[in-house]
Every structure is written in structure tokens, then in C-alpha cells.
């Protein structure tokens, strides 16, 4: 039986590569997923965002994914990759309209110099890219965030500032599923902690 409650509800979600998965996450809840590399953590998040072919159902506030056009679904259930992609040379091209203002306000909070936004992507360090990609995803103001190792490339201080921002979002009711390699972070931020073993989810 699939879970009945929760803002984000995953029922019998599976593909040839992973699953089946059943999971319900409530409003303002953070589920942390740990597990060895290649165990299917990213695949799971990508399937929820409907980026990879899959079967099964995912509901957001009771509405099944297939009843919503895919781009609109992905704007509400936002997947942020561990190694974010950049589609233009300039950093600013990755932000549109009002999200630019948001990015300028958010950058210093994550320890990023505001001037970075006006430069080229090639000049960014891995950690800077990771934080800017997170800002890009946060700017959509989506009810669900699927974060794939959001602090994987960050030092302790930056990790703390990212976690503070995520905690704010949780307090505002945002639902988060987060893949992390750090069990400490999983307990610090996650209300629940799940483990991916051999492409299946089990309680940690």
C-alpha cells in the first residue's frame, strides 16, 4: 500500500535501474538519504523530477504528476544536481528577471562575492558553482526541493550557511529530499534519515 498522506507522495516508483520506491514527505519536512556511491540515490531524485524514464506515481498535494505538463512539474519539484550544468558563458544568463534580484540578495548569505554574478562561469570554483546552482534552484520558490549533495564541495562554514538557508525554507513549509554523504548532516537537517542500499530505500 502506498503512503496516503504527505505533500510529496511517491508510490511504486521504479525503473529498470532502481526501485520500487514508496515514500511520503510532509510539508516542512526534510528527508535525508545516504548510501554508497552508485546505490541509486541520484536516480531516485531524478525519477521524482521525471528526468529519467520511469513507472509509478508521484503526487504533489494530491495531484498526480501526469496531470501536470512536465516543465510545470519540474518547476514545482526542483531537482538540483550534484554537479550542476551551465548553459551559457555568463553567470547572469542563468538567472532571469526577478530571480536576478533574488540571487544578488542571496549570494552574500552563502559567502559569495556579489561580483561573481557578473563574471563568466569558467572563473567560478567548484564550491562557488555549487552554491550558485543552489541559488538558481531556490529562486524558483518551489514547494519541493530535491537536493543532490548540496554541500558536497563546500567547506564547513559554507555548509553551515547553506544549511541555515535550507532550515528557513523548511520553516516556511518547503519539502526537501536531500542526498548527502555526511551522516552528521543527515541527522542535523533531516527529520527522517533513509539509506539507499542496492537501489532500495531502507530506514537508516
Partner 1 sequence: MNPILLTPVDLAIASVLIVLDGALSLVLRLGLHRQLAWAALRMVVQLVLIGFILRWVFAIASPLVTLAVVLVMVAIAGREVAARPEQRLGRFGNYAVGASAVAIATFLTAILALTTAIRPQPWYDPRYAIPLAGIILGNVLNGGSLALDSLLGGVVREQSAIEAQLALGASFSQAMRGLIRGSVRRALLPIINQMSAAGVVTLPGIMTGQILAGMDPLEAAKYQILLIFLLSGGSGLAAVAVVYLAAMRLTDDRQRLRIDRLTAKSKGSGP
Contact (CB, 8 A) for 39 and 85: no
- Those residues with Cβ within 8 angstroms of residue 21's Cβ, 6 or more apart along the chain or in another chain: 10, 12, 13, 14, 44, 47, 56, 200, 201
The reply to whether 152 sits near partner 1 by the rule CB under 8 A is no
Of residues 80-139, which lie at the interface with partner 1 (CB under 8 A)?
A: 80-81, 83-88, 133, 136-137
Nearer to partner 1, 48 or 195 (CB): 48
- Among 57, 75, 118, 198, the residue binding partner 1 under the rule CB under 8 A is 75
All three cell numbers of 187: 541527522
SS3 state of residue 182: coil
All three cell numbers of 197: 542500499
C-alpha span between 126 and 83 (Å, rounded): 9
CB of 75 to partner 1, least distance (A): 3
Nearer to partner 1, 51 or 153 (CB): 51
Concatenate the DSSP letters of all residues of 40-72 into one string: SHHHHHHHHTT-S--EEEEEETTEEGGGS-HHH
Nearer to partner 1, 12 or 88 (CB): 88
Of 19-27, 46-54, 106-114, 155-163: span binding partner 1 (CB under 8 A): 46-54
Nearer to partner 1, 71 or 203 (CB): 71
Of residues 53-72, which lie at the interface with partner 1 (CB under 8 A)?
A: 53, 69-72
Nearer to partner 1, 30 or 132 (CB): 132
Q: How many residues bind partner 1 (CB under 8 A)?
A: 25
Site string for partner 1, 1-40 (x = CB under 8 A): ----------------------------------------
* Torsion of Cα atoms, 55 then 61 then 62 then 63, to 10°: -60
Q: How many CA atoms lie within 13 A of 57 on its CB side?
A: 14
Nearer to partner 1, 78 or 194 (CB): 78
CB of 70 to partner 1, least distance (A): 4
C-alpha span between 125 and 144 (Å, rounded): 27
C-alpha span between 110 and 47 (Å, rounded): 29
CB of 188 to partner 1, least distance (A): 25
Q: Which residues bind partner 1 (CB under 8 A)?
A: 49-53, 69-72, 74-75, 78-81, 83-88, 133, 136-137, 140
Amino acid at each position: 500500500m502506498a503512503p496516503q498522506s504527505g505533500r510529496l507522495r511517491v508510490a511504486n516508483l521504479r525503473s529498470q535501474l532502481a526501485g520500487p520506491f514508496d515514500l511520503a514527505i510532509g510539508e516542512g519536512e526534510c528527508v535525508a538519504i545516504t548510501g554508497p556511491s552508485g546505490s541509486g540515490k541520484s536516480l531516485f531524485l531524478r525519477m521524482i523530477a521525471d528526468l529519467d524514464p520511469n513507472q509509478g506515481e508521484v503526487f504533489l498535494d494530491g495531484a498526480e504528476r501526469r496531470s501536470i505538463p512536465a516543465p510545470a512539474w519540474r518547476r514545482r519539484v526542483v531537482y538540483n544536481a550534484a554537479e550542476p550544468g551551465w548553459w551559457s558563458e555568463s553567470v547572469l544568463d542563468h538567472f532571469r528577471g526577478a530571480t536576478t534580484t533574488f540571487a544578488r540578495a542571496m549570494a552574500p548569505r552563502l559567502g559569495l562575492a556579489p561580483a561573481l554574478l557578473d563574471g563568466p562561469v569558467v572563473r567560478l570554483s567548484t564550491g562557488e558553482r555549487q552554491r550558485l546552482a543552489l541559488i538558481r534552484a531556490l529562486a524558483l520558490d518551489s514547494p519541493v526541493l530535491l537536493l543532490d549533495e548540496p554541500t558536497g564541495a563546500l567547506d564547513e562554514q559554507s555548509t553551515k550557511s547553506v544549511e541555515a538557508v535550507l532550515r528557513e525554507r523548511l520553516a516556511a513549509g518547503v519539502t526537501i529530499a536531500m542526498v548527502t554523504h555526511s551522516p552528521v548532516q543527515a541527522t542535523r537537517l533531516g527529520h527522517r534519515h533513509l539509506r539507499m542500499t542496492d537501489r532500495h530505500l531502507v530506514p537508516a
